[in-house]
Amino acid sequence: MRGGDLMRSERGEFTLIGLMMAISIFGVVLMATYGAFDVFGRNVRETQTRTEATDRARSATDQMSRQLRNMATPTAIQPNAVTRASDFDVIFETVAPTGTPPAANPQNVEFVRYCLASGTRTLYSMELPPASVTAATVPPTASACPGTGWSNARAVAGDIVNVYGGASRPVFSYDSTTLNAIRRVAIDLFVDTTPGYGSAEQEVSTSLDLRNQDRPPTATFTHTSAGGGVAVLDASGSTDPDNDPLTYCWYDAGTSATVGTCSAGSIADSQYFRYRTTAGSHAITLVVTDPSGLSSTSSATFSIT
């Protein structure tokens, strides 16, 4: 019997066997089509989820960059604009872009913290808003992420796999281990919504200069014996890389006097002066300080005739 005979009777009508075969073939085609659409839909959803996670990481990186670039200029009360700088945790002062500055915080400064909770692969942001900041404010020291003592703690990026599967890649990198010497920060986020399988992780990174970070001055002075127990001391060669105005404090190890706002043992608080004292050897020290409280010291021992 030919194959066509199974499909049609002698009168040309479809037989039951033929109908069942047609339904079976249609079912196979339908299942294959559904399977293809299911795979396509799953791939689309995974791509969309991965794209959304990468976009959130990119937005978080942009936000961190803006705040770091707008970092508050250090002051003598708060000499460290960066107060924590580790691989997965950073705390710094920045100027809030909105709001009326409180009377106790005329610079409208706020403390901001970003940290990675590696267990949940979540990057958190938190802050102490300007209304909570005064000259005496010290940010919370707890290392738990997100931790306590902060306001507005929120997740700003997820699926961050910097720490995963034995890997430990810093979120934050710095050009110095000294807080007030940090001038450059690199931010590097690795995003993977299906770690261990599926598509490869995505990297979101940037680096920036801290334009408001202060740099310490350099102290230097010359001394000339003018006779009669007088030495001419000149600190005009002292410099500040940020062109900040400097204050000067001179010290003589052989005295216990106090001049101006300098500490005990000071003999003058001006850039240039004539020091009248007893003849003999004297150990003179110059300390120059900028408005942020960063200082530099220069010393020399010489004879005054």
pLDDT digits (tens, 9 = 90+) for 28-81: 777 777 666 665 556 667 778 888 999 999 999 999 999 999 888 777 666 678
Q: What percent of the chain lies above the pLDDT cut of 70? A: 87
Residue 245 has pLDDT above 50, yes or no: yes
Short-list 150, 93, 86, CA closest to 118: 86
Contact 76, 180 (CB under 8 A): no
Contact 209, 182 (CB under 8 A): no
Mean pLDDT for 217-235 is 93
Mean pLDDT for 167-191 is 93
Ordered by where they begin, the domains of the chain are: 62-209 (no CATH), 222-304 (2.60.40.10)
What is residue 129's predicted lDDT score, i.e. its pLDDT? Answer: 92
- Exposure of 27 by Cβ count < 10 A (0-12 exposed, 13-18 middle, 19+ buried)? exposed
C-alpha–C-alpha distance, residues 126 and 149, integer Å: 10
C-alpha–C-alpha distance, residues 179 and 176, integer Å: 7
- Quote the tokens at residue 129: 């808003």
What is residue 18's predicted lDDT score, i.e. its pLDDT? Answer: 65
Confidence of residue 1 (pLDDT cuts 50, 70, 90): very low
Helix (H), strand (E), coil (C) string for the chain: CCHHHHHECCCCCECHHHHHHHHHHHHHHHHHHHHHHHHHHHHHHHHHHHHHHHHHHHHHHHHHHHHHHCECCCCCCCCCCEEEEECCEEEEEEECCCCCCCCCCCCCEEEEEEEEECCCCEEEEEEECHHHCCCCCCCCCCCCCCCCCCEEEEEEECCECCEECCEECCCEEECCCCHHHCCEEEEEEEECCCCCCCCCCEEEEEEEECCCCCCCCECCCEEEEEECCEEEEECCCCECCCCCCCEEEEEECCCCCCCCCCCCCEEECCCEEEEECCCEEEEEEEEEECCCCCEEEEEEEEEEC
